[in-house]
Structure 1
Amino acid sequence: MRRVPAPEVRPVESQPGEHHHTMSSLTGPPASGSPLIPAEELAAYGDLPCPAPHTAPELNALVGLLTPAKSRIETVAVGHSRDPASRAAADAFAAAWKARGGKVLARVDWPESAASWLRPARRLTAEEPDAWVMAAAPLGFAQLARRLRHSTDWDPARTVAFAALRDSRLPALAGPDTLHGLRGATAEGGTWAVRHRWVTSYPPPGSTA
């Protein structure tokens, strides 16, 4: 189990027992004013990686995060970047979720650069889904997440994401506690979670790593 502080990339050992923590929603959106990330902050983080194609273990782990014992999650909204890997991941999740009898209330995409990200933010939250699923590149998602927290009732603790968003720089880029509670799957079939400024990774079930 590893956790990585943003903006540092090198992981450090997590504290004992941290994998038992629970996720709770935040009490309010970021401070008033524009939620857009200033250009100088974007420049400080350099080039962020493009999403890689998702894997079958990753998809299975993501579905597993939404379907624990006694889960009441039935409806989801799926959001994704416009790159081919993110589109394919969103397609695969939507098909898997519908095959389980679940409902996809909305499917929303967004560009990596936009004037405000308000339209996709409102579309993602309009139907009040039980959960949100994100397949996205880090930069565009950071901007969207800031808009979601600023202008909607979106809850990161009810959101799961593909491995492309497991980037140690993402919590700092999105802003203080904007992503607290966000969880996701790794390409190997493990999981990860954002807790304040930390990204903590967990190995696949049965793994000794």
Structure 2
Amino acid sequence: MSGEGILKQPEDCEGIMKDRWVKKVCRFFCAACAAVLLAAGCGKEKADSLSELELEQNEAEETAEEAVQQEESGTVFVYVCGAVNAPGVYELAGDARVYEAIALAGGLKDAAAGEALNQASTVTDGERIYIPTAEELEKGIVDGQTAEVTGTDNQGKININTAAKEELKTLPGIGDAKADSIISYREANGGFQTVEELMQVEGIKEGVFNKIKDRIIS
């Protein structure tokens, strides 16, 4: 019996070693699979993160491009009133001209003094465009009211040294604030020596000046 046991011992050892080897291979295989799955998961997460980042960057670039396009081709709103057929607020392209605003307002009435305005000048956002009648122009009536102090010469040009606030507001791009600034400047500095000096007034830059320079005198 003891001899048979000794003869069978190497076979038993071989079986045990084989079982251990199989278990090691299985553990190694499982570990390898887990590593592959983990790497795949991390790779997918990284890819998803990159995709989200790229999407955000693309959206930011598109938004910036749209903002630039909107700025370049922006629109303005102007109020056209006086001797036009359809007074009101109208939206125009940023580089639109006064005559285009008048056209949107139904055109000039028969009694309108269209020559009182420089219809080729560029409109500005928030501008009030008043078209007087020929009778108003003759009587020195500005914006439907008789000016107490007239600053308009016989050629229809406005004297920036004597014009009242309402007269100044008939100029393209000149509203309440700019008209007040013009009056304050001339009172503080003894008037304007030249029309170009108007650009020294706060809020009046070259763009606005170019629109009104042919309609003013000093």
- Identify whether the pair has TM-score above 0.5, normalized to the shorter chain: no
Superposition TM-score tier, normalisation by shorter sequence: under 0.3
The structure with the greater share of residues assigned to strand is 1
Richer in helix (by share): 2
